[in-house]
């Protein structure tokens, strides 16, 4: 009997070990690693646009400088506020002359990991994206020539462009403005979120509810559109693939990538947004039509997956999404060089 009892106890112990919470957690981690990757600790290298300390600093100054706008009031940081999750927390951004933009401003944080920029992906990289809002009438309402005239009128900017682009015969240019902003924006990454720490093997980085939410997130199929380093941002998907969402979330007039000439994109397809720091970036969706992350989970589950998660499941998923908030970049507001008598005045301002 003693031998049989010992054999039974040994087998019971092995069974309990195999089915213990630790084993289940290890299984969850293994599944998560199949879909996600942690954000790297260092900013990625931009192909064709090497970074230097001088260029990054110049890019930071330009990112915060409202003189890139026609009004002299709007900077990149206005709509992509680095103290507010990299966006402006509005449904649609307010631009030149109090005009309201057509879509919700995506976060600039971790944007370097996106396959393309803007909701419809019309800009292939951050450099191209940086040029768009400066020229858009409902945003910064300026022109490349006027931007160049402004920058060339400020001696410190001329010197900084020369140091940042030493081999360029015409360093102060609209293109180089965008290149400088691009390398700065590439530094705006948010590593070390609780979820990143979990992916690296620290089991206690997530609470039990967050782990349950992660499991539901994968089981429901959310990972179809939200995966990889940025947990989204790497492909285009039709919004309303299985069920049409309410028109307030998907207005018929905005066809997304289908409205971009030459893209070959399908109507109502959009680049999936990154879910990194999503708890900081309400309101949500390209329309900015919801401030409730739980509501958005329900909308997307129904529209994309034909699923109806229960209340507790939604709460768990929202808790998991909260674990995606990473270490925010510490950016010191730069001292901007003063204008001169030859600096173009803001549009509509009386001449000197």
Tens-place pLDDT, residues 28-37: 999 999 999 9
Closest CA to 214 of 307, 302, 293, 316: 316
**Predicted confidence (pLDDT) at residue 351 exceeds the cutoff of 80:** no
Can you say whether residue 192 is alpha, beta or left, with left for phi > 0 and alpha for psi between -120 and 50 degrees?
Answer: left
Alpha carbons 92 and 106: distance in angstroms, whole number: 10
Helix axes 293-305, 311-322, angle to 10 degrees: 110
**Residue 152 structure tokens:** 């060339």
d(C-alpha 232, C-alpha 121), whole Å: 13
217: its two tokens:
């997130």
User: To the nearest whole number, what is the mean pLDDT of the chain?
Assistant: 94
Q: Would you place residue 203 in the very low, low, confident or very high pLDDT band (cuts 50, 70, 90)?
A: very high
CA angle 224/198/295 to nearest 5° reads 45
The pLDDT score that the predictor gives to residue 238 is: 98
- Does the pLDDT of residue 20 top 70, yes or no? no
Options 54, 57, 139, 167, the catalytic residue: 139
CA atoms within a 13 Å half-sphere pointing along the CA-CB vector of 247: 3
Q: What is the pLDDT of residues 291-314, one digit of tens each?
A: 999 999 999 999 999 999 999 999
Q: How confident is the model at residue 5 (pLDDT cuts 50, 70, 90)?
A: low
Ramachandran sector of residue 66 (left: φ over 0; alpha: ψ -120 to 50; beta: rest): alpha
Find the mean pLDDT for residues 194-220.
98
Which tens digits make up the pLDDT trace of 128-151?
999 999 999 999 999 999 999 999
Residue 4 reports pLDDT greater than 70: no
Decide if pLDDT at 342 tops 90. Answer: yes
Per-residue pLDDT at 349? 85
Residue 2 confidence class, pLDDT cut points 50, 70, 90 = low
* Contact present, 58 and 70 (Cβ < 8 Å): no
Task: Give the max Cα distance, the chain.
Answer: 104
| 81 and 277 Cβ atoms separated by less than 8 Å | no
Confidence band, pLDDT 50/70/90 cuts, at residue 93: very high
Tell me what pLDDT residue 16 has.
53
pTM, 2 dp? 0.92
Q: Which residues of 300-310 are buried (b: 16+ CB within 10 A; e: fewer)?
A: bbbbbbebebe
Using the predicted structure, report yes or no on whether residue 68 has a pLDDT greater than 70: yes
Calculate mean pLDDT across residues 266-292.
98
Known catalytic residue at 313: no
């Amino acid at each position: 009997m003693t031998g049989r009892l010992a054999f039974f106890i040994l087998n019971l112990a092995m069974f309990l070990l195999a089915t213990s919470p630790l084993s289940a957690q290890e299984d969850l981690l293994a599944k998560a690693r199949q879909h996600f990757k942690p954000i790297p600790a260092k900013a990625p290298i931009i192909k064709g646009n090497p970074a230097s300390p001088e260029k990054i600093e110049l890019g930071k100054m330009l990112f915060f400088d409202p003189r890139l706008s026609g009004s002299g009031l709007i900077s990149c940081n206005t709509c992509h506020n680095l103290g507010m999750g990299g966006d402006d927390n509005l449904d649609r951004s307010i631009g030149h002359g109090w005009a309201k933009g057509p879509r919700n401003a995506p976060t600039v944080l971790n944007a370097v990991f996106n396959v393309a920029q803007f909701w419809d992906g019309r800009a292939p990289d951050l450099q191209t994206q940086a040029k768009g809002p400066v020229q858009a009438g409902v945003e910064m309402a300026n022109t490349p020539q006027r931007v160049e005239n402004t920058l060339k009128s400020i001696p410190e900017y001329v010197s900084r462009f020369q140091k940042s682009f030493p081999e360029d015969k015409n360093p102060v240019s609209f293109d180089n403005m965008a290149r400088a902003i691009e390398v700065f924006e590439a530094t705006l990454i948010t590593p070390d979120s609780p979820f990143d720490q979990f992916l690296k093997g620290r089991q206690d980085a997530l609470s039990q509810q967050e782990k349950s939410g992660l499991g539901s997130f994968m089981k429901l199929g959310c990972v179809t559109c939200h995966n990889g380093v940025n947990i989204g941002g790497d492909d285009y998907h039709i919004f309303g693939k299985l069920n049409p969402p309410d028109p307030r979330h998907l207005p018929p007039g905005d066809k997304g990538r289908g409205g971009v000439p030459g893209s070959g994109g399908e109507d109502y397809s959009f680049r999936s947004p990154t879910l990194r720091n999503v708890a900081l970036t309400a309101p949500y969706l390209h329309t900015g039509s919801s401030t409730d992350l739980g509501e958005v989970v329900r909308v997307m589950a129904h529209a994309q997956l034909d699923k109806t998660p229960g209340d507790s499941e939604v709460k768990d998923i929202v808790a998991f999404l909260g674990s995606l908030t990473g270490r925010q970049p510490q950016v010191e507001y730069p001292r901007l060089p003063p204008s001169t008598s030859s600096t173009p005045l803001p549009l509509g301002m009386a001449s000197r």
